[in-house]
Amino acid sequence: MAAIISNAVDFNVDDLYIDLRGSVGRKLFLKCEGFNFAGSVKLKAATEMVKAKERAGELVPGATLIESSSGNMGVALSLVAASHGYRFVCVTDVRCTPAAIRLMKALGSEVRVITEPDPEDGYLGARLAHVRSLCAENQDYVWLNQYANEGNWMGHYRTTAPEIAKAFPMLDVLFIGTGTTGTLMGCANYFREHRPSVTIVAVDAMGSVTFGAPSGRRLIPGLGTSVRPGILDTAYVDDVVHVSETETIRTCHRLVSRGFLFGGSTGTVVSGALAWMAENQVAEDTTAVAISPDFGSNYLETVYDEEWLARSYGVDVLPEQ
């Protein structure tokens, strides 16, 4: 039977997985979360946070939403705002891909781009300070604050985690990339309650302070933070892997050589999963799943652009084919 929708947020493919054995040589299943009109896993959290505000009576027709985002959440909230009749202001920074900025504007959003990082808290700190400033100037703005909003992880508790549990009843290990940690905490809470034997491995970017590592340069948006998210509870996480951006890029190009065009976050998660499985000598019959947040079309001018790569990381970032 044909699927018929009337609202853009009502479409999402939730049961597509890729067997990566032919691409990376290990038994690893990749859950693809990019098949919706926002193009990423963030649509689930965006929808949940907005619905919660509506239930609480904090959103009225014509209201203005505001949020800090490195890209995907901004696009997702642009879509939700457009479909619900709200205005949306996204505060991002210079690392946001040009494609994501154009998409947000096409959906009717106002985009503010922060060009200077906070001396201590980096670009995220500067973005959050600008959000607070705009909220002080505009009392009618509704800040969702995805970094501290329980709806961020509850969206994945209700959807992403049970989808994986249904598809893989014998799941052993789940790898989840960490940005705001919404996907991580939603899945970790669910499996702690319903399948505590599943090992939850967080994959973070080198240079991210989320799990206490020192702050460092990060050019690829999506994973990692310069301010620890308020919703993170490390008690639910069994292990953490940090991935360099060089390895992220190489994994993206390894996957695209097999026809799979994924975003930088996916490259990080897959790279981290492979490193963790190798270090822990994971048995061949282990059932492991990684979550892919988005596809690579927004990264054609960065991760998949040779000039940008050479300028940002040096000419040797990609090994000779």
Strand 29-32 and strand 173-177: the pairing is: unpaired
As a whole number, mean pLDDT of residues 9-22 equals: 95
Question: What mean pLDDT is reported for the chain?
Answer: 95
- Residue 261's pLDDT band (cuts 50, 70, 90): very high
- The class of domain 8-32+157-307 in CATH terms is alpha beta
This prediction has a pTM of 0.94
Give yes or no for residue 235 having a pLDDT over 90: yes
User: Which pLDDT tens digit goes with each residue over 42-80?
Assistant: 999 999 999 999 999 999 888 999 999 999 999 999 999
CATH number of 42-143: 3.40.50.1100
Q: How many Å separate Cα 213 from the centre of its chain?
A: 19
pLDDT band at residue 319 using 50, 70 and 90 as cut-offs: low
Whether 233 has a pLDDT exceeding 80, the answer reads yes
pLDDT at 240 over 60: yes
pLDDT in tens, 166-222: 999 999 999 999 999 999 999 999 999 999 999 999 999 999 999 999 999 999 988
Confidence of residue 320 (pLDDT cuts 50, 70, 90): low
What's the order of all strands across the beta sheet hosting 17-19? 17-19, 29-32, 288-292, 173-177, 199-205, 239-243
pLDDT of 62: 85
Three-class secondary structure assignment of 20-48: CHHHHCCCCEEEECCCECCCECHHHHHHH
What integer pLDDT is reported at residue 21 of this predicted model? 96
Could you report the per-residue pLDDT of 141-160, keeping only the tens digit for each? 999 999 999 999 999 999 99
6-18: average pLDDT = 95
- Is residue 321 over pLDDT 60? no
Where do the structural domains in the chain lie, given as residue ranges? 8-32+157-307, 42-143
Which of 294, 301, 305 minimizes the C-alpha distance to 38?
294
Distances (CA, A) of 280 to 9, 26, 141, 175, 215: 39, 13, 48, 14, 26
